[in-house]
Chains A and B, each alone.
Chain A
Amino acid sequence: MPKKGFFMGLFTDIIGWFILFLGVVLWAIVFFISNTTVSYQIKEQSAYLNNEGILLNYLTSPTEEGNIADLIIQVYGGEEPTKLVNELDYILNQVYGKSGDICWKLWYYQENNDKELLVGTECGKKTNFFDAETIIPTPEGDKIKIKLNVPGYKNDD
Chain B
Amino acid sequence: MMIKGKKGMIAILILAIFFFAIMGTLFIKLQSKKSQFNATLGETQLELIEKYTKGEQILFYIDQASKYSIYEAVYDLSLNGGFFDYKCGDYNGYGLWQSEKEDIEYCSPDYRNNFGKFISTRLDSYLSKGIFEINPPIDNYDFIFEEDEKTKIHGIATIPLSIPILCGKDKTECGVYKVKPSFTHQIDYNLNDYGIIKEKLMKITEECKKEQDLTDNENLKQCVYGRMGSYKGLEWKSIPKEESQEEDRNFAFEATSIKKISFHDNNIIYKFAIFIPDEAPPPKIENLKIEEKDNKVKLSWDPSKALDVEKYKIYYNEEINIPKPKEIFNNLNIFIEDEVDSSEISYEVVIEQGKTYYFVVTALDEVGNEIKEGVEAIKYP
Task: Say how far A89's CB is from chain B's closest CB, in angstroms.
Answer: 22
Q: Which residues of A contact B15 (CB under 8 A)?
A: 16
Q: Which residues of B contact A66 (CB under 8 A)?
A: 67, 262
**CB interface residues, A 113-157, toward B, < 8 Å:** 134-139, 141, 143
A59–B61 CA distance with the chains assembled, in angstroms: 11
State whether the Cβ of B225 lies closer than 8 Å to any Cβ in chain A: no
Q: Which residues of B contact A141 (CB under 8 A)?
A: 122, 125-126
Given contacts A23-B23, A40-B40, contact A137 B64 (CB under 8 A): yes
In the complex, the answer to whether A1 meets B46 with C-beta atoms within 8 Å is no
Q: Which of B5, B23, B50, B72 contacts A139 (CB 8 A)?
A: B72
Residues of A within 8 A of B (CB): 1, 6, 8-9, 12-16, 19-20, 23, 27, 30-31, 34-35, 38-42, 45-46, 49, 52-53, 56, 59-60, 65-66, 69-70, 73-74, 77, 134-139, 141, 143
In the complex, the answer to whether B11 meets A6 with C-beta atoms within 8 Å is yes
Q: Which of B12, B61, B68 contacts A16 (CB 8 A)?
A: B12
The 0/1 profile, CB within 8 Å of A marked 1, for residues 58-87 of chain B is: 001100110110011000000000000000
State whether the Cβ of B184 lies closer than 8 Å to any Cβ in chain A: no
In the complex, the answer to whether A135 meets B61 with C-beta atoms within 8 Å is yes
Q: Which residues of B contact A59 (CB under 8 A)?
A: 60
Q: Which residues of B contact A136 (CB under 8 A)?
A: 60-61, 64
Closest to A9 in B: B3
State whether the Cβ of B49 lies closer than 8 Å to any Cβ in chain A: yes
Q: Which of B2, B42, B126, B262 contacts A42 (CB 8 A)?
A: B42
Given contacts A13-B2, A27-B23, A143-B61, contact A46 B49 (CB under 8 A): yes
Among B15, B50, B57, B131, chain A packs the most CB atoms within 10 A around the CB of B57
The 3 A-B residue pairs with the shortest CB-CB distance, nearest first, are: A137-B65, A139-B68, A9-B3
Q: Which of A15, A31, A49 contacts B49 (CB 8 A)?
A: A49
Q: Which of B41, B132, B263 contacts A39 (CB 8 A)?
A: B41
In the complex, the answer to whether A8 meets B60 with C-beta atoms within 8 Å is no
A5–B119 CA distance with the chains assembled, in angstroms: 89
Task: Say how far A139's CB is from chain B's closest CB, in angstroms.
Answer: 4
Q: Which residues of A contact B262 (CB under 8 A)?
A: 65-66, 70
State whether the Cβ of B101 lies closer than 8 Å to any Cβ in chain A: no
State whether the Cβ of B177 lies closer than 8 Å to any Cβ in chain A: no
Instruction: List 15 additional contacts besides A13-B3, A34-B31; criterion CB under 8 Å.
Output: A6-B11, A19-B12, A27-B27, A31-B30, A34-B27, A34-B34, A35-B34, A40-B42, A52-B53, A69-B60, A70-B64, A73-B263, A134-B57, A136-B64, A137-B64
Q: Which residues of A contact B41 (CB under 8 A)?
A: 38-42
Q: Which residues of A contact B65 (CB under 8 A)?
A: 137
Task: Say how far B274's CB is from chain A's closest CB, in angstroms.
Answer: 32
Closest to B45 in A: A42
Closest to A34 in B: B31
**CB interface residues, B 17-66, toward A, < 8 Å:** 19-20, 23, 27, 30-31, 34, 40-42, 46, 49-50, 53, 56-57, 60-61, 64-65
Closest to A51 in B: B53
A65–B67 CA distance with the chains assembled, in angstroms: 12
Given contacts A27-B27, A39-B40, A135-B132, contact A60 B72 (CB under 8 A): no
A143–B64 CA distance with the chains assembled, in angstroms: 11
State whether the Cβ of B8 lies closer than 8 Å to any Cβ in chain A: yes
In the complex, the answer to whether B60 meets A56 with C-beta atoms within 8 Å is yes
Given contacts A9-B8, A30-B27, A143-B131, contact A45 B57 (CB under 8 A): no
Task: Say how far B201's CB is from chain A's closest CB, in angstroms.
Answer: 31
In the complex, the answer to whether B1 meets A9 with C-beta atoms within 8 Å is yes
Q: Which residues of A contact B53 (CB under 8 A)?
A: 49, 52-53
State whether the Cβ of B259 lies closer than 8 Å to any Cβ in chain A: no
State whether the Cβ of B7 lies closer than 8 Å to any Cβ in chain A: yes
Closest to B261 in A: A139
Task: Say how far A30's CB is from chain B's closest CB, in angstroms.
Answer: 6
State whether the Cβ of B340 lies closer than 8 Å to any Cβ in chain A: no
State whether the Cβ of B16 lies closer than 8 Å to any Cβ in chain A: yes
A52–B42 CA distance with the chains assembled, in angstroms: 19
In the complex, the answer to whether A8 meets B1 with C-beta atoms within 8 Å is yes
**Can you spell out 15 A-B residue pairs with CB atoms less than 8 angstroms apart?**
A6-B8, A6-B11, A9-B3, A12-B1, A13-B2, A41-B42, A49-B49, A49-B50, A52-B53, A60-B60, A70-B64, A70-B262, A137-B61, A139-B263, A143-B131
In the complex, the answer to whether B27 meets A69 with C-beta atoms within 8 Å is no
Task: Say how far B225's CB is from chain A's closest CB, in angstroms.
Answer: 36
Q: Which residues of B contact A38 (CB under 8 A)?
A: 40-41
Task: Say how far A144's CB is from chain B's closest CB, in angstroms.
Answer: 11
In the complex, the answer to whether B46 meets A56 with C-beta atoms within 8 Å is no
Q: Which residues of B contact A6 (CB under 8 A)?
A: 8, 11
Q: Which residues of B contact A52 (CB under 8 A)?
A: 53, 56-57
Task: Say how far B379's CB is from chain A's closest CB, in angstroms.
Answer: 76
A49–B61 CA distance with the chains assembled, in angstroms: 17
